[in-house]
Every structure is written in C-alpha cells, then in structure tokens.
C-alpha cells in the first residue's frame, strides 16, 4: 500500500483529526450527495465498506446491514465508539477468507481507498468486491483525481495527499475494466476549497 504517513501527514492517522479535516474540506455536503446519487440506500441494504476509516458515512445512511473493514485500530475504535451496534467493524484487511462467512452485498464501498493502492492491489480489491456483491450489486468508489482542467490549487492539494497513486480518469477506468465490464466514471470539480474527485460505479 503506497501512502505517506510521516511528517505532517501523520496527524491524519488520528480519527478525530481526520474527520474534522474532512468536514472542513466540505465532506458533509459531498457525503450527502454521494449517498443520494450513488448509494441510493434503502432500509436493510447490505453494505460492505472496505477501508471504512472511522465509518463517517454511517451518519448519512438509514438502517442498513453495515460491515466495515479497516487496518487502523484507531479508526475502528472510533467507529465502534461513535456507532456502536449500528454496524459491524473489523480491524483487519478485507480478504478472500472473509467471503466464506459474510453475506452477499447490495453495495461495496471503497471511499478514498484506490489511490492508496498500487495497480495490482487495486485490482485485487475490485476482484474481492465483485465476489462479495449480489448479482446486480454495485462497487462504488471515490478518489482524488488528476485532470488537465482542474484548478491549480486542487492539483496542489491532491499532490499532497497521503495516497501516492492518485490517477487520471482514464487510469481509474482502466483498472476497473480489468474486473467490471462497463464501469460508470464521473469526474467532479469542487469550487469551495478546490478539489477534484473521480466517482466510479461498477455493477456486477
């Protein structure tokens, strides 16, 4: 996994600092829009969140059957403290063996994950996600994106991300097409604190 966790970026490993910074960067409206337009949740939906962090997305979901996996003990402890029995949280890397005991899911989330992974790691996550999905289920991902039309400030902020594999739209799509037939790709530019995200929706 390619990411920088030393220096000033180390403070982002603290869940409260991470969540606060995300809020300052406009995460509230972004998550609300993501849930409404991409997740499209319904009560009882089965949701798998790979690299869930402190599971902040749960605050925007109705009552769902939520399973979150993250390798950070601090993030998982914060998720359990905040959401308790609302979800099931596991402090480990999601792996093939987990598919033997988990249900099939309506949605698999990989929010802010792919740009932390090398190509082979990203493809492996997508393959696991596909196997975890019900027929017709969807993998949804959001990642920072490099784009020739983006604001210079956005590009500088993205270059400073902990994840060292921020890609272009075409590069994200190329990864997804290894596993999924017709991924839906959308790049969005945000004006308030300029930033650029790539959204992917991949259906099994």
Q: Comparing 182 with 10, which gets the higher pLDDT?
A: 182
Residue 31, pLDDT score:
84
Confidence of residue 15 (pLDDT cuts 50, 70, 90): low
pLDDT of res. 16:
58
**pLDDT value for 28:** 64
pTM here is 0.85
pLDDT of residue 191: 75
**pLDDT average, residue stretch 56-76:** 95
Give the CATH number of domain 7-203. Answer: 3.40.50.150
Torsion sign, CA atoms 7, 9, 10, 11: positive
Band (pLDDT 50/70/90 cuts) for residue 6 is very low
For residue 2, pLDDT over 70 is answered with: no
Residue 192's pLDDT is what? 73
Cα radius of gyration (the chain):
16
pLDDT of residue 9: 43
Domain boundaries, the chain: 7-203
Distance of CA 101 to the CA centre of its chain: 22
Q: Tens of pLDDT along 103-136?
A: 999 999 999 999 999 999 999 999 999 999 999 9
Q: In the prediction, which pLDDT does 25 show?
A: 53
CA distances from 100 to 104, 118, 142 (A): 10, 26, 27
Q: What is the pLDDT of residue 163?
A: 86
Q: Considering the chain, what is the average pLDDT of its residues?
A: 88
Give residue 1's pLDDT. Answer: 53
Q: What is the DSSP string of 76-88?
A: HHHHHHHHGGGEE
State the average pLDDT over residues 75-98. 95
Contact 139, 123 (CB under 8 A): no
Q: What is the pLDDT of residues 148-171, one digit of tens each?
A: 999 888 888 888 888 899 999 999
Q: Is the pLDDT of residue 11 over 50?
A: no
Decide: residue 143, CB within 10 A, 0-12 exposed, 13-18 middle, 19+ buried: buried
61 or 1, which is more confident: 61
**Count of C-beta atoms within a 10 Å radius of residue 47:** 22
């Amino acid at each position: 996994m390619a990411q920088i966790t030393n220096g000033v970026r180390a403070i982002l490993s603290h869940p409260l600092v991470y969540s606060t910074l995300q809020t300052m960067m406009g995460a509230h409206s972004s998550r609300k829009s993501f849930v409404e337009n991409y997740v499209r949740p319904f009560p009882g939906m089965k949701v798998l969140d790979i690299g869930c962090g402190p599971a902040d997305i749960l605050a925007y979901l109705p009552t769902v059957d939520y399973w979150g996996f993250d390798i950070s003990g601090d993030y998982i402890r914060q998720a359990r403290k905040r959401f308790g029995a609302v979800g099931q949280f596991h402090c480990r890397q999601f792996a093939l063996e987990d598919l033997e005991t988990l249900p099939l899911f309506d949605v698999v989330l990989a929010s802010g994950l792919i740009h932390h992974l090398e190509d082979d790691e990203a493809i492996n996550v997508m393959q696991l996600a596909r196997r975890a999905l019900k027929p017709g289920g969807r993998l949804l991902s959001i990642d920072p994106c490099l784009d020739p039309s983006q604001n210079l400030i956005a590009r500088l902020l993205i270059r400073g991300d902990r994840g060292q594999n921020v890609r272009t739209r075409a590069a994200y799509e190329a990864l997804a097409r290894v596993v999924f037939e017709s991924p839906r790709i959308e790049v969005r530019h945000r004006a308030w604190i300029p930033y650029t995200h790539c959204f992917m929706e991949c259906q099994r």
